[in-house]
Amino acid sequence: MDIRITPAALCGCVTAPPSKSAAHRAFICAALADGESRIKTDGMSEDTAATVRCLEAAGAVISRRDGAVNVAPIKNPPSKAVFDCGESGSTLRFMLPVAAALGIEAEFTGGGKLPERPIEPLLEAMRTHGVSVGSGFPIKISGRLTPGRYEIAGNVSSQFITGLLLALPLCQDKSELKILPPVESKPYIDITISVLEKFGASLVKNEDGFIVYPSRFHAADLTVEGDWSNAAFWLACGAGVRGLDADSAQGDKRIIEILKCFGAKITEDNGCIRASMENVHSADIDAADIPDLVPIISVIASAARGKTVIYNASRLRLKESDRLKTTAAMINSLGGSARETGDGLVIEGSGGLRGGEVDGGGDHRIVMSAAAASVFCDSEVVIRGAQAVAKSYPDFFEKFNRLGGKANVMQLR
């Protein structure tokens, strides 16, 4: 799907979509619980649908009823199963150790960039704890995950840590999970702990990681909180967002602090948060704990005046696209000035953008950032491959137009 956008100001207020991060974790914990859980969530992205599909393959019964997702837990996991993860790195990294802890002989498949995304540190941790892992992709595993002492690097993907934290309570004895510093994207680990505690898991944080005790998860009735990461696109282009929790464990709530660093004025009226983007200036941003915000921060930097440096973002090269490269290409295609560094971007803001054609690169965050950038453009923006938004925000363009945007589908591919 290609989209043509005529620049227009956005106004009004939109409800934040459900947090993809929280939803993945809630569905998995519910599928491992001792009874039926009810997860209230407004819609589902392709990524969370992939996790639901894998949980059903493992034996959970999941249905929509009365505005919620009802999860009847896994009672008798199959001896063998195929898990189709789509393009979801979260699904793959979470479900691998969970399937191993359940003793399922499993084959994990997927498409897009998924086969290229880092996974070896997690597989090695599983190999040393009772699991046989085949070579190549699709990934084939057999055996059962055993308790013990685990060590895993904290600077490759926090999702490896989350996957183990979700799986280790299913083991028959306690485990120690040591996280080797530096630890990046720590807020995503905090989200995992928050969800695990809601379902009754027993674990203790220590100086260098966690002690995880055998636990039977308890059924829960909960609402998936609003997503700060996707709300950032609206806040950056002047629209209001409601349904966000200022006390959330989500690291991307830092978008408010970042907007203030750029000089934006933040207001809140009846639960609707918005930012005034007039007269914004440059700022230097440490992206170690907020990698998903880098594309939209780059748009803000282009609309500002002066040089912005974004650093500690090298892991973005391992996302759905090489996100440092595709972000720089997006900004430059729209008439801005962005260049890559070893671990980030340098953006020379000129107060606005010209407009132009952007290759979405198969990356939902690049597509949404390019759409947000249209607000700061003088002429139209064309986005190729705009269907990538379905990965995390399927109705993004519907909401965009509802807020006053002028996005029209050029062609379906």
Any idea which residues carry the catalytic annotation?
Answer: 292
- Give the phi and the psi of residue 165 in degrees, each rounded to 5: -65, -35
DSSP 3-state of 149:
strand
Q: How far apart are the first and last CA of the chain?
A: 5
* Residue 163 token pair: 């996957």
> What single-letter DSSP state applies at residue 226?
B
Residue 287 corresponds to which tokens in the numbers above?
Answer: 């992206």
Mapped onto helix, strand or coil, the DSSP state of residue 230 is helix
Distance, in Å, from the CA atom of 25 to the CA atom of 195, rounded to the nearest integer, reads 7
Helices 186-198, 20-31: inter-axial angle, 10-degree rounding: 40
Q: Give the bridge partners for 409, in sequence order.
A: 3
Alpha-helical runs (H) found in 184-315: 186-198, 228-236, 255-261, 294-303
**Which tokens belong to 249?**
């464990």
DSSP state of 33: B
Q: Are 41 and 222 within 8 A, CB to CB?
A: no
DSSP 8-state code for residue 137 = S
Q: What sections of 218-375 are H helices per DSSP? A: 228-236, 255-261, 294-303, 323-333, 364-373
Side chain identity at residue 199, one-letter code: F
The β-bridge partners of 308 are 347
SS3 234: helix
Q: Which helix (H) or strand (E) holds 251?
A: none
- How many Å apart are CA 191 and CA 123, to the nearest integer? 23
Q: What is the DSSP letter of 57?
A: H
Query: Cβ(158)–Cβ(316) under 8 Å?
Result: no
- In which residue are the tokens 């929790």 written? 245
261 contacts 232 by C-beta, under 8 angstroms: no
Asked if 198 and 170 count as a contact pair (C-beta separation under 8 A), the reply is: no
**Radius of gyration for the alpha carbons in the chain, expressed in angstroms and rounded:** 21
